[in-house]
């Protein structure tokens, strides 16, 4: 924990002042920009209440695999639009060995986005390897998906995954990181004020999902909670790119 906090202080130009010293605490609370990610599992959402709670951004599940559609995708996007929450699409990947599967899934995601007001870039949710692709194969699959979505949308997609999954199934995602892809990391340790540290081949992260059991007004049950690496600066970068 000490090392993680010192690393966070260093990247923000702060002198070490203890684990929760006043300078670090002030910077952390000033910079935190809060967001969520949702799917049909959250049921009907009161987006006005979500916005009033301070949530600034949301990624909503658009689809899954080569043809799956989240039944609440359109209403969730509309709810965000109507309440000033920046929104984007995430696609739950189901990689398999069929020729051009990555292209098919990428095009399915883009089709789900068509005609909608989406300020945030699309996200590849990579946490499943049921087809047991070899690490190099899965990394190739992800790179193909990311490149196709970038070409079709003009946006730079984000990769969502976790340290264990990337290391076990995708060689740490080193080639994905080298491509310039930004990382949205899932790691539930230490709370929102403790840097999650390196993930696989990625030395930095843009978005951190720090809890899968969060509580937010307007949502029944648990919801994933996220913060941005550099607060408003990261949010601006995501919206512009």
**DSSP category for residue 105:** H
d(C-alpha 150, C-alpha 169), whole Å: 23
Query: Among all residues, which ones are annotated catalytic?
Result: 127
Rounded Cα distance between 236 and 238, Å, is 5
Strands 223-228 and 123-125: unpaired
Instruction: Take residue 159 and report the two structure tokens written for it.
Output: 């990769």
Which of 53, 74, 27 lies closest to 225 in space, CA to CA? 53
- Cα separation, 109 vs 62, whole angstroms: 7
If you ran DSSP here, which 8-state letter would residue 98 be given?
Answer: S
Q: How distant is the alpha carbon of residue 241 from its chain centre?
A: 15
CA-based nearest residue to 228, from 31, 81, 84: 31
Other C-beta atoms closer than 10 Å to the C-beta of 44 total 13
């Amino acid at each position: 924990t000490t090392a993680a906090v010192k690393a966070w202080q260093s990247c923000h130009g702060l002198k070490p002042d203890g684990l929760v010293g006043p300078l670090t605490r002030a910077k952390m609370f000033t910079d935190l920009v809060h967001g969520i990610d949702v799917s049909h599992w959250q049921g009907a959402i009161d987006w006005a209440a979500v916005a009033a709670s301070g949530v600034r951004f949301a990624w909503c599940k658009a689809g899954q695999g080569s043809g799956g559609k989240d039944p609440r995708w359109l209403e969730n996007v509309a709810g965000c639009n109507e309440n000033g929450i920046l929104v984007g699409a995430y696609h739950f990947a189901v990689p398999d060995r069929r020729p051009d599967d990555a292209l098919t899934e990428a095009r399915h995601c883009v089709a789900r986005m068509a005609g909608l007001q989406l300020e945030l870039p699309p996200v590849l949710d990579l946490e499943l390897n049921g087809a047991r692709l070899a690490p190099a194969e899965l990394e190739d699959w992800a790179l193909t998906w990311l490149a196709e979505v970038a070409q079709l949308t003009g946006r730079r997609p984000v990769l969502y995954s976790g340290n264990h999954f990337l290391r076990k199934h995708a060689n740490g995602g080193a080639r994905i990181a080298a491509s310039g892809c930004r990382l949205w990391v899932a790691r539930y340790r230490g709370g929102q004020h403790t840097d999650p540290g390196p993930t696989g081949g990625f030395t930095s992260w843009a978005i951190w999902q720090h809890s899968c059991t969060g509580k937010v007004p307007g949502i029944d049950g648990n919801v994933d909670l996220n913060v941005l690496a550099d607060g408003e600066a990261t949010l601006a970068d995501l919206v512009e790119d």
